[in-house]
Amino acid sequence: MMELPLQFDCLFDDPTQASAFAALLNDRPQELMEHLHRHCPEAEDDEWTYVESGPADAQGLRVMSDLVLHAYEHRVWRTMGAGLAALGARRAKLMRKTLESAHPTGIVHLVDGTAVTPCMHALAGRRGEPLVAALWDDDVARLQALLSSGAATPGEALCLAALRGAPHALAALLALHGPLVNQPDAGGNTPLVNALLGGQVDAMRQLLAAGADVNATVHLTPALQELAAMEDAIQEPGDLWSQRALYRYVVEHALVAEGYSATEWALAQGQPEAAHLLLDHAPALCWAEGEDEASTLGTCIDGGTPELLQRLLLRAVAEGRTEPAHENWLDHAVYLRRFAMIDLLLAHGCDIDRPNEAGETPLHTAAMTHFALQSNQGIEFLLSRGAQVDSVDSEGKTPLMCAMRYIYEWNSARMQGLHWLLLAGASTKARDHEGHSVAWHAQEEGIPLKEVLALSKQMRAQERAAQRGEG
């Protein structure tokens, strides 16, 4: 089981419900856990164990508190929306915390128990406004009355209808005010971008059919600026390698950034249906000709799918584009453990031993990052595809040295990774540029190299015995 520190920020319509929720958090947290578990559709075979909670801060209709639980499945916390809605929470942010602060890749925005985008969550908070209320209900008659009275403008209504994904209202607006299809709102976002920010793929189809510009740029709304500020506040801790998978690509590859194209935003935010739709309309792609740019293809590795990556690789071939010198797509995919993408990149011709800017090959990256995450499949995966087992980084370290250096907690999964490196012929006699041996790197973590070699030999004997048994 793993520890999941969570932070709740819930808004209720009824102060009585808010007080009752705060009382559960403060006085009966185990009862709250049982309620959330009961309403979680993915929790039938999972066990949640209450660890601790902080005092609930109830401010009128808003309740905030911390809760720590143990669970077998780390993603299960994202499905607590139904349980919160059953307790009366109309809007909520459920945040997974790391190092005492929530991070932007660990926030679920909820409206009526359903996960929504940050911009839809913000729009739900405006349902008291007449125009937003009419569009929220997709009420064309109320919309037309507001437009006729001058209480709303067609351009504003078009952007909000796209954000809400109100099909009837959007169709009526496009029929009467089609030339406004690319008119941006006060924040600079066109109706198409608003639909994207709301996660409204059907609305995007309506807008593209009406002539929306597929190359529109995303500008950060106040809700997104809040997430961007959280990204900016994240600093990579010195040797806390267990957090590398979170921090390295949040720091180096901003997930929430001003100036993304609509396609890049869909890729970065993991909206594959929207990304496929946009690619169907042949948008311009960024090939990162400047060192301060990130390519569309690199962004796809962050949040896209293998199918989307394949489409982009075909575009690269068709347009005669190659991997930018300052990017390393394969290392990027290895870091994020996108194994299907790795195979696509290798088939495209990416070099399995090409070092990143730190001189680390993808096998170094797997040995460090994956070990820290108590994973080892990346090592076997790369070795089986021909990675050089004794490649050296800019400090002369081999992947075996790096694996030794970052095993701060001994377990069988990490031993299996070491075994694969040794089985592939990793040298135990190599020394880095400072003259440190493999044994020195192992001893630095309190792990005698002789013990590692003995365990690897024992594992090999067991594998051979198993093979004879199968034969």
DSSP readout, 60-123?
TTEEEEEEEEEES-TTGGGGTHHHHHHTTEEEEEEEEEETTEEEEEEEEEEETTEEE-HHHHHH
**pLDDT of amino acid 471:** 57
**pLDDT of amino acid 32:** 86
**pLDDT of amino acid 300:** 94
Q: How many Cβ atoms from other residues are within 10 Å of residue 114's Cβ? A: 11
**pLDDT of amino acid 250:** 41
**pLDDT of amino acid 239:** 36
Residue ranges for the chain with pLDDT beneath 50: 235-253, 372-373
3-state DSSP call for residue 49? strand
**pLDDT of amino acid 167:** 98
For residue range 76-133, what is the model confidence (pLDDT) as tens digits? 666 788 888 888 888 888 877 765 555 555 677 889 888 899 899 999 999 999 999 9
Q: How many Cβ atoms from other residues are within 10 Å of residue 322's Cβ? A: 10
For residue range 24-79, what is the model confidence (pLDDT) as tens digits? 888 888 888 888 888 876 655 556 777 788 888 778 899 998 888 877 655 666 67
Q: How far apart are CA 461 and CA 23, in angstroms?
A: 58
SS3 content of the chain, % helix, strand, coil (to 5): 50, 10, 35
Q: How far apart are CA 72 and CA 38, in angstroms?
A: 16
Protein fold of 120-213: 1.25.40
Closest CA to 300 of 310, 311, 309: 309
**pLDDT of amino acid 382:** 95
- The dihedral built from the CA positions of residue 275, 278, 281 and 283, taken in this order, carries a sign that is negative
Beta strand 62-71 with 89-98: parallel, antiparallel or unpaired?
unpaired
**pLDDT of amino acid 466:** 87
**pLDDT of amino acid 452:** 87
The residues spanned by each domain of the chain are 2-116, 120-213, 354-471
**pLDDT of amino acid 253:** 47
- pTM of the shown model: 0.84
- For the domain made up of 2-116, the CATH class stated in words is alpha beta
Protein fold of 354-471: 1.25.40
Q: How far apart are CA 147 and CA 154, in angstroms?
A: 7
**pLDDT of amino acid 41:** 63
Domains 2-116 and 120-213 belong to one CATH topology: no
**pLDDT of amino acid 415:** 81
